[in-house]
Structure 1
Amino acid sequence: MSGRSSPSGHPIRVVLVDDHAVVRTGLAQLLSGTDGIEVVGTAGDGAEALEVVRETGPDVVLMDLQMPGTDGVAATRALRAEGLPAQVLVLTSYSDGDRIIAALDAGAVGYLLKDAEPDEVLAGIRAVARGESPLHPRAARALLSARRPTPAEAEDASVLTVREVEVLRLVRQGLANKQIARRLGITERTVKAHLTSVFQRLGVADRTQAALWAERHGL
């Protein structure tokens, strides 16, 4: 497995977060045997993850979602609220659309499933370090099909989440994704994920049609 993978040329520093010790150990063995990736800490829950990230300053946090106490979504949200630069890549068993949206809304930049091949996990970590947003194909399908609306539902703003309504209102105002991200305190990638969901829920093809829908419905 090849060379240096981070933009700076240094190893990608990773913190592993999972409540199962056997999973953490297996991931640590996989990553530690890979050139260009360095495991700098592990945590068994979200609260511990915050402490470890503060202490070690990783590039990437490989985050489980379902954990006792502070779960992965809450931990991701806390990392973003503190302005910590580590990027969160979710690694979980859950592929339902609502959970994916919750993780992205909290600030995660990628979403992988635990049945992924080891090479897919490594590729996901490298992609996050390059500023990309890897999504497991099944997670991507779930995100796109989450609550796909009927024609009647597509005329009802209640099919949208509160955050999607906020994003749609700003689209109607003519703001670009980067401006929306700054206004709402989320990442540009999360804005794009919300817009993808909005398009699917409303049955529109692009942001212009979405803005017209918002105007028609008084948003």
Structure 2
Amino acid sequence: MRLFVVEDDPYWQQAIRAIVEHRPDYRIVAMCSNLRQGLEAVQTESFDLMIVDLGLPDGSGIDVIRASRRRHPDAEILVATVFADEENVVAAIYAGATGYLVKEATPEQWSAAIDGLRAGHSPIDPKIARHILGAVQQRSRSLMQPSWSLSSPNAHGGADDEAGLKLSPREIEVLQLVAKGFTMIEVARFLKVSPHTTRTHAKAIYRKLEVSTRGEAVFEASVRGLI
């Protein structure tokens, strides 16, 4: 696995190197210490996993996350930071982060998070979970519009009630499997279809829910009551 690291603190740079150096299947392809270097490297490097800090000396790591998601849509993105407030957590997830770890985690937790991302999961530090739940609840309340009530002319559970409900039964099935932690390849095997077909479904899901990552898709589908 090729790792791309965006971290300005020399201590944590060395800590990350120490965590992965004993793993022959891991290789750091770039180590950037600020936003500018990170944005430049996103355009030139090939990687499978990005480890990014949010607090960079010349800006926010969220900008690197967005750039990576556009340039490398299949790469995993692990946020490793001291910022555990709700605003940064939610912003990072919406930008495209697929995992979130606070820096005080143990080396074992770091390794487990990286392995989890590699396996197609979305590791979230327990300290972060409450912020995500709060954001889900807040967004759920904001989406509760009067037009969705049972008295609404369109309130029959039809496919056109709301944008997310236009998902096909197969797209819902794909989302349910992704929410359980399956990778797209595993979803294809489970549904007995080709990986290309599941990728096509994923693109349709992302477009309809107006998201760009698995985590965002599951988040939005959960809020909308689709899964």
Task: Name the residue aligned to 1:186.
Answer: 212
Tell me how far apart the structure 1 counterparts of residues 217 and 107 of structure 2 sit (CA, whole Å): 29
Tell me how far apart the structure 2 counterparts of residues 89 and 57 of structure 1 sit (CA, whole Å): 16
Task: Name the residue aligned to 1:120.
Answer: 109
Task: Name the residue aligned to 1:172.
Answer: 165
Task: Tell me how far 1:102 sits from its aligned partner.
Answer: 1.0
Aligned positions, number: 179
Task: Tell me how far 1:193 sits from its aligned partner.
Answer: 2.1
Contact 1:181–1:191 (Cα < 8 Å) also in 2: yes
Normalising by structure 2, report the TM-score. 0.67
Task: Name the residue aligned to 1:17.
Answer: 6
Tell me how far apart the structure 1 counterparts of residues 84 and 145 of structure 2 sit (CA, whole Å): 26
Task: Tell me how far 1:134 sits from its aligned partner.
Answer: 0.9
Tell me how far apart the structure 1 counterparts of residues 73 and 206 of structure 2 sit (CA, whole Å): 17
Deviations 1:103-146 (A, max 9, x none): 11111111111111111111111111222211111112220123
Tell me how far apart the structure 2 counterparts of residues 187 and 87 of structure 1 sit (CA, whole Å): 9
Give the match's secondary structure for 1:14. Answer: strand
Contact 1:62–1:90 (Cα < 8 Å) also in 2: yes
Q: List runs of 5+ in structure 2 lacking aligned partners.
A: 147-160, 176-201
Contact 1:14–1:58 (Cα < 8 Å) also in 2: yes
Task: Name the residue aligned to 1:207.
Answer: 226
Distance 1:152 1:182, change over 3 A: closer
The correspondence for 1:143, drawn from 115, 132, 156, is: 132
The correspondence for 1:76, drawn from 51, 65, 76, is: 65
Normalising by structure 1, report the TM-score. 0.70
Q: Identity across aligned pairs (percent)?
A: 25
Contact 1:17–1:44 (Cα < 8 Å) also in 2: yes
Distance 1:88 1:155, change over 3 A: closer
Tell me how far apart the structure 2 counterparts of residues 126 and 112 of structure 1 sit (CA, whole Å): 13
Give the match's secondary structure for 2:56. Answer: coil
Give the match's secondary structure for 1:146. Answer: helix
Contact 1:60–1:89 (Cα < 8 Å) also in 2: yes
The correspondence for 2:34, drawn from 35, 45, 56, is: 45
Give the match's secondary structure for 2:16. Answer: helix
Give 2:54's aligned amino acid.
Answer: L
Distance 1:154 1:117, change over 3 A: same
Give 2:163's aligned amino acid.
Answer: L
Task: Name the residue aligned to 2:18.
Answer: 29
Tell me how far apart the structure 1 counterparts of residues 128 and 141 of structure 2 sit (CA, whole Å): 26
Tell me how far apart the structure 1 counterparts of residues 110 and 30 of structure 2 sit (CA, whole Å): 17
1:83-102 alignment, distance < 5 Å: 83=72, 85-102=74-91
Tell me how far apart the structure 2 counterparts of residues 95 and 73 of structure 1 sit (CA, whole Å): 14
Task: Tell me how far 1:85 sits from its aligned partner.
Answer: 4.0
Tell me how far apart the structure 2 counterparts of residues 147 and 171 of structure 1 sit (CA, whole Å): 16
Contact 1:107–1:187 (Cα < 8 Å) also in 2: yes
Contact 1:45–1:71 (Cα < 8 Å) also in 2: no
RMSD: 2.8
